[in-house]
Amino acid sequence: LWSADELLDHVYLEVSGGRHNGSAVPRPEAEVREGTLRLPVLYDTVKTLDQTVAVDYYLPGCPPPVELIKRAIDAILQGTLPPRGSVLAPLTAVCAECPRKREDKRITAIHRVHEVVPAPERCLMEQGIVCMGMATRGGCGAQCLKVDMPCTGCGGPAPNRPDMGTGMLTALASILHLDKEPGTYTEEEVMELMAQIKDPVGLFYMYSLPASILKRKVMKR
């Protein structure tokens, strides 16, 4: 996680090779012939939509599945909407909709999705491909998993798992059998496996960082 200043420096100075002696970094205000140009200031903390405006209902997904949109419209027309603030999606996780089978296999390595060709009927997590299905609200029909792509969490946190990152840590502990068989892996083996997950914050909080318990980088004052 980076602060706003670190992000701007990285993109405009480090990636670009430090050209223009820093003059390429966007400034909140700049004088031009036509007048003063003003840019929005980047915050160190990204806000959720409901921290900015009032939200009546949540329709998860990126984009929301057609079936969920249809159900929401039907509920509006029939006057059967749930209490304001409700999530218009099932109270289940994506895993409950996934046709793949769990076999309780021991993971020996964690792979990125382009590194392996997964077996079509087995759970991707058990094949070492990190899948967010355990921590993500269902309603999508597990469409990504049906084409050998892991869930990325676009449906938001599953019911009773308000934080997707901690939900995924629990899921990984389960798939590694750390909750039932503490001696299955040594501490070194666990750390080696976890180190194979590239950018865990970006993976576990791709859609939900502003609403997470993590929220932002800890800033020293």
Q: What is the mean pLDDT of residues 124-150?
A: 93
Q: List b or e across 50-79, with b for residues whose CB sees 16 or more CB atoms inside 10 angstroms.
A: eeeeeeeeeebbeebbeebeebbeeeeeee
Residue 169 has pLDDT above 60, yes or no: yes
Question: Of 174, 178, 200, which is closest to residue 189 (Cα–Cα)?
Answer: 178
Residues 81 and 189 in one domain: no
Q: Looking at residue 154, what is its pLDDT?
A: 95
The answer as to whether 21 is a domain residue is: yes
Residues 75 and 97 in one domain: no
The answer as to whether 221 is a domain residue is: no
Q: Containing domain of residue 12, as a range? A: 4-38
Tens digits of residue pLDDT in 171-215: 787 777 665 565 667 778 778 878 888 888 889 999 998 888 877
CA distance 155 to 61: 4
Choice between 147 and 17, residue whose per-residue pLDDT is larger: 147
Exposure on the CB side of residue 116, measured as CA atoms within 13 A: 15
The answer as to whether 220 is a domain residue is: no
Residues 109 and 22 in one domain: no
Q: What is the model's pTM? A: 0.79
Residues 83 and 96 in one domain: no
The answer as to whether 217 is a domain residue is: no
Question: Of 36, 39, 32, 52, which is closest to residue 4 (Cα–Cα)?
Answer: 39
Over the chain, what is the mean pLDDT? 86
Residues 132 and 202 in one domain: yes
99 burial class (0-12, 13-18, 19+ CB within 10 angstroms)?
Answer: exposed
Residues 6+ positions from 191 with CB-CB distance below 8 Å = none
Kindly state the percentage of the chain with pLDDT values over 70: 90
The string of DSSP letters for 14-62 reads ITTTSGGGGTTS--SEEEETTEEEE-PPPPSSPPPGGGTS--S-B--SS
Residues 107 and 198 in one domain: yes
Residues 153 and 63 in one domain: no
Q: Looking at residue 115, what is its pLDDT?
A: 92
Residues 58 and 34 in one domain: no
151 burial class (0-12, 13-18, 19+ CB within 10 angstroms)?
Answer: buried
Residues 197 and 149 in one domain: yes
The answer as to whether 23 is a domain residue is: yes
Tens digits of residue pLDDT in 23-59: 677 888 888 899 999 988 888 778 899 999 999 999 9
Binned at pLDDT 50, 70 and 90, residue 107 comes out as confident
Residues 72 and 147 in one domain: no
Domains of the chain: total = 3
Number of Cβ within a 10 Å radius of residue 26:
12
The answer as to whether 213 is a domain residue is: no
The answer as to whether 219 is a domain residue is: no
Residues 6+ positions from 106 with CB-CB distance below 8 Å = 176, 177, 184
Bond into 40 cis (ω within 30): no
The answer as to whether 114 is a domain residue is: yes
Q: Looking at residue 218, what is its pLDDT?
A: 57
Residues 71 and 152 in one domain: no
Residue 71 has pLDDT above 80, yes or no: yes
Residues 105 and 190 in one domain: yes
